[in-house]
């Protein structure tokens, strides 16, 4: 066989097959790289956003006596080298940064305060590079003094600048610590953090800020501050008589983390904790980290993203392969005549099949290699599917060409009857198809009933059910499609016009083999509609979540009261349309210890401000709206600025911008004797920095910024962009499938139309006949695909939790937006109509005599 000659003769078909292969390989290799790259970026961003105290590995041990005390830096260094040596290999790339060590006391009371004030002692191994001394001097070696007949240590310490006024301390002051085992601290220096935003400070926030804690059963908050001492202070610091702990922090570098490594990282952290525990010589060593929980939360969100990606990318791959198979079938049909002659002249079956396979390989192999190579321009790791996807495309295309040609040319001078009605399916086949449909429906019901598997990871059941539903829809369409058409045929047969009868009859008598190419539309439309519906559901829920987080177009909140002058300046600011005043705080419910969060606001004004927003509150003129935890109390009393009796006027599950769970209530702002406004709800187009300038002590947020923060999450943007790309690709493949199905049946259709034209069929009638033959199947398939795409989100709802991409709100109510499905259906119908008119125009150029001679020969 002259492969090159055949390739030149069918260059157009070869080019179409190459372009389809290139696009399919690029999508199947590029999209997984992009999605996995976004998963990695999402993991790194999540770890960066978490405090270092949660992500880092902290080895800690308590000292209970002099035998367990560490008195010099060298002892800390020795143990740090040990921790790094026993770090599992999976964690070492993430813990290469320089860590730090510390020694701290906790709950060290100031003598004579009865537990009303605590001043703790601490040593940081890297204090010299983390603090600047802005007053006094750096601490030196400890001294001793006599107190109540005992010699006690006197530690020189430094204290953070802001703690002096808050704690009532001063530079040069000496403070006695302890209630029985005494020690003294002399404040010799005042420090300030060189970089307060350094992640390492999350381990030592007690050095930078006064910590207020409320002891159990106490009414007032107690202040705690931790001071800083020198290396020499370790020589006198002992765990005997006070709470002393040592820490070694191994910082985690999120830049080295990858989403594929998450399961191994969790196992490595557990192994590290186990090995550290084995090093115990006195008090046990522990590993403190929230890294497993962070990784678990990420895996939960990632699992959902992967499920959605598997569904849409799997559908894209299946549809792409189907369209490529259609193009191979078109090439095989064009090769049918020369291969038949070659077979009749003595060509062997392997030669004939090999020729078709070689031509297919000549078209798809270079295109697949090019698509595979271009995919490496997409940032992201190379997953197995990146290599296997293009190879699968090549194998399917070449294999189908060889198998189809071999089956068609099993015997020389093969022939077939085109006027034989389709055989009835066997009872075994019908039973099998009914079983598939029943299993698909049962699987969808069970998925909704049981939800996801609790074992974690991907639930195979979730991936099988959509495939089963698609196959079931295809089988039902194949079997049921002819029956309504036959009814239309009977109606058309009563009329005098022949074109409707002939067109619908040919459509109803189409064999399964001619219907299968068009059924590629079903998964294409089903998956694209599913992707569009899910994407729209995510977008809608994201907007709702942003309003739920902020509660107004713009919200200004402060811990203390906002001055009236600042409120007036905000009202006069250009662009401000409405300002609603509110006061938030914690109130006493009844006369016991029960407390609840409360907001006092003019609900009527707030409702006007939320007009048109996806969140709302019921009206309230008096009384209170309460949370479900406070329901059923009737009239109750609260203590805020004064004692107020309130009647329950309604129950609300959440208050937009403020409360989503727990005990809370909404009251009219008029119940306050003098409202201490600490919250402003603003409508209008106002620059946020300008508001922050007018109210310096407040935090300014907006609904638009909250929405951007939700949408900019890497996982969220990846899911939405992938859904958009897949929707566009599937729409293109659906249109290509229609075109290819028209071209594949063009020769047979042209022969039938030409014969009918010899009997007096006009050109316009020929066009209508072709449209009636093609359009019903396309419309039926489009409607079934539309229904499948709309059913899939509801069927998979319990198994696909998309709340991670919608501000933690569940995405469950998918709106029925028929714009995209209608556009796809209209586009497919338009392509079918254009194909029908093009087919008629081409058929008009044929010589009817030539057609008759060909028909006579057959």
Summarize pLDDT for 191-226 with one digit per residue, the tens: 999 998 888 999 999 999 888 876 655 556 788 999
244 closest CA partner among 68, 41, 40, 115? 68
Strands 183-193 and 174-177: antiparallel
586 closest CA partner among 665, 489, 504? 665
Give the global pTM: 0.74
Report percent pLDDT > 70 for the chain: 88
Contact assessment for residue 531 and residue 309, using Cβ atoms and an 8 Å cutoff: no
CA distances (Å), 795 to each of 164, 448, 802, 814, in order?
Answer: 62, 7, 14, 12
CA–CA gap between residue 163 and residue 87 (Å, rounded): 38
CA–CA gap between residue 249 and residue 247 (Å, rounded): 6
Q: What are phi and psi of 50, to 5 degrees?
A: -75, 150
653 closest CA partner among 496, 810, 493, 842? 810
Task: Sketch the domain layout of the chain as residue ranges.
Answer: 1-50+290-415, 57-257+281-289, 420-543+704-858, 559-697
Of 540-554, 566-580, 585-599, 795-809, give the lowest mean pLDDT range: 795-809
Q: Quote the pLDDT of residue 856.
A: 45
Q: Quote the pLDDT of residue 722.
A: 81
Contact assessment for residue 680 and residue 580, using Cβ atoms and an 8 Å cutoff: yes
pLDDT bin (cut points 50, 70, 90) of residue 801 is low
Q: What integer best gives the mean pLDDT of the chain?
A: 84
17 closest CA partner among 404, 326, 371? 326
Higher-pLDDT residue of 190 and 349 is 190
What is the average per-residue pLDDT within 160-187? Answer: 91
What is the average per-residue pLDDT within 774-787? Answer: 80
pLDDT bin (cut points 50, 70, 90) of residue 458 is low
Contact assessment for residue 291 and residue 261, using Cβ atoms and an 8 Å cutoff: no
Summarize pLDDT for 745-772 with one digit per residue, the tens: 766 767 777 777 666 777 677 777 777 7
512: pLDDT strictly greater than 80: no
């Amino acid at each position: 066989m002259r492969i090159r000659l055949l390739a030149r003769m069918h260059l157009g078909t070869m080019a179409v097959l190459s372009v389809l292969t290139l696009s399919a390989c690029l999508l199947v290799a590029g999209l997984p790289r992009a999605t996995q790259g976004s998963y990695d970026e999402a993991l790194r961003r999540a770890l960066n956003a978490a405090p270092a105290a949660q992500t880092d590995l902290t080895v800690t041990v308590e000292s209970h006596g002099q035998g367990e005390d560490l008195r010099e830096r060298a002892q800390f260094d020795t143990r740090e080298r040990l921790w790094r040596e026993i770090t599992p290999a999976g964690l070492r790339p993430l813990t290469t940064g320089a860590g730090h060590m510390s020694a701290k006391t906790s709950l060290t009371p100031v003598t004579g305060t009865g537990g009303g004030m605590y001043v703790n002692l601490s040593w940081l191994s890297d204090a010299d590079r983390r603090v600047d001394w802005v007053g006094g001097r750096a601490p030196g070696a400890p001294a001793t003094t006599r107190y109540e007949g005992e010699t006690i240590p006197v530690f020189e310490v430094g204290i953070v600048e802001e703690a002096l006024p808050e704690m009532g301390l001063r530079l040069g002051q000496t403070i006695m610590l302890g209630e029985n085992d005494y020690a003294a601290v002399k404040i010799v220096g005042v420090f300030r953090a060189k970089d307060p935003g350094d992640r390492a400070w999350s381990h030592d926030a007690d050095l930078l800020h006064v910590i207020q804690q409320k002891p159990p059963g106490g009414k007032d908050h107690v202040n705690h501050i931790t001071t800083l001492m020198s290396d020499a202070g370790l020589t006198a610091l002992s765990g005997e008589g006070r709470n002393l702990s040592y820490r070694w922090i191994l910082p985690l570098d999120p830049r080295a983390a990858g989403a594929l490594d998450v399961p191994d990282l969790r196992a490595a952290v557990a192994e590290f904790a186990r090995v550290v525990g084995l090093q115990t010589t006195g008090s046990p060593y522990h590993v403190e980290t929230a890294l497993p929980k962070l990784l678990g939360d990420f895996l939960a969100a990632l699992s959902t993203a992967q499920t959605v990606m598997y569904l849409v990318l799997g559908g894209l791959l299946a549809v792409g392969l189907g369209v490529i198979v259609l193009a191979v079938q078109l090439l095989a049909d064009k090769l049918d005549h020369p291969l038949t002659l070659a077979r009749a002249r003595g060509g062997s079956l392997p030669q004939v099949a090999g020729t078709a396979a070689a031509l297919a390989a000549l078209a798809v192999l270079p295109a697949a290699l090019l698509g595979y190579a271009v995919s490496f321009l997409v940032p992201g790791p190379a997953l197995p599917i990146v290599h296997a996807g293009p190879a699968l495309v090549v194998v399917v295309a070449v294999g189908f060409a060889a198998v189809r040609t071999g089956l068609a040319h099993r015997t020389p001078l093969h022939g077939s009857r085109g006027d034989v009605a389709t055989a009835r399916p066997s009872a075994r086949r019908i039973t099998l198809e009914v079983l598939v449909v029943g299993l698909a429906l049962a699987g969808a019901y069970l998925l909704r009933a049981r939800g996801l598997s609790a074992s974690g990871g991907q639930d195979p059941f979730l991936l099988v059910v959509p495939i089963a539903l698609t196959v079931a829809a295809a089988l039902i369409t194949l079997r049921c499609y002819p029956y309504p058409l036959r009814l239309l045929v009977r109606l058309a047969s009563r009329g005098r016009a022949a074109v409707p009868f002939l067109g619908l009859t040919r459509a109803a008598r189409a064999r399964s083999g001619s219907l299968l190419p068009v059924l590629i539309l079903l998964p294409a439309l089903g998956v694209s509609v599913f992707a569009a519906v899910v994407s729209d559901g995510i977008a809608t829920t994201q907007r709702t979540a942003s309003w739920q987080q902020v509660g107004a177009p713009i919200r200004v909140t402060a811990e203390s009261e906002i001055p009236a002058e600042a409120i007036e300046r905000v009202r006069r600011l250009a662009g401000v349309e409405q300002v609603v005043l509110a006061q938030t705080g914690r109130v006493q419910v009844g006369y016991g210890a029960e407390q609840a969060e409360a907001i006092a606001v003019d609900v009527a004004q707030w409702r006007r401000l939320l007009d048109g927003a996806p969140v709302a509150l019921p009206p309230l003129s008096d009384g209170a709206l309460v949370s479900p935890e406070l329901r059923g109390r009737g009239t109750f009393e609260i203590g805020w600025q004064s004692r107020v009796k309130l009647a329950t006027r309604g129950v609300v599950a959440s208050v937009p911008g403020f409360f989503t769970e727990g005990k809370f209530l909404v009251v009219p702002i008029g119940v306050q004797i003098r409202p201490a406004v600490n919250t402003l709800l603003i409508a209008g187009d106002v620059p946020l920095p300008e508001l922050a300038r007018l109210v310096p002590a407040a935090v300014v947020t907006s609904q638009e910024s909250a929405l951007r923060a939700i949408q900019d999450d890497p996982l969220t943007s990846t899911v939405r962009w992938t859904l958009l790309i897949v929707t566009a690709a599937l729409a293109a493949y659906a249109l290509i499938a229609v075109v290819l199905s028209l071209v594949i049946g063009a020769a047979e259709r042209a022969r039938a139309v030409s014969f009918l034209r010899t009997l007096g069929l006009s050109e316009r009638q020929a066009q209508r006949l072709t449209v009636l033959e093609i359009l019903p199947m396309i419309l039926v398939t489009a409607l079934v695909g539309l229904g499948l795409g709309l059913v899939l989100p509801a069927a998979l709802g319990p198994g696909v939790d998309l709340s991670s991409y919608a501000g933690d709100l569940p995405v469950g109510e998918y709106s029925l937006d028929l714009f995209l499905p209608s556009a796809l259906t209209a586009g497919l119908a338009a392509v079918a109509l254009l194909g029908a008119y093009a087919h008629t125009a081409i058929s008009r150029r044929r010589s009817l005599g030539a057609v008759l001679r060909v028909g006579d020969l057959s």
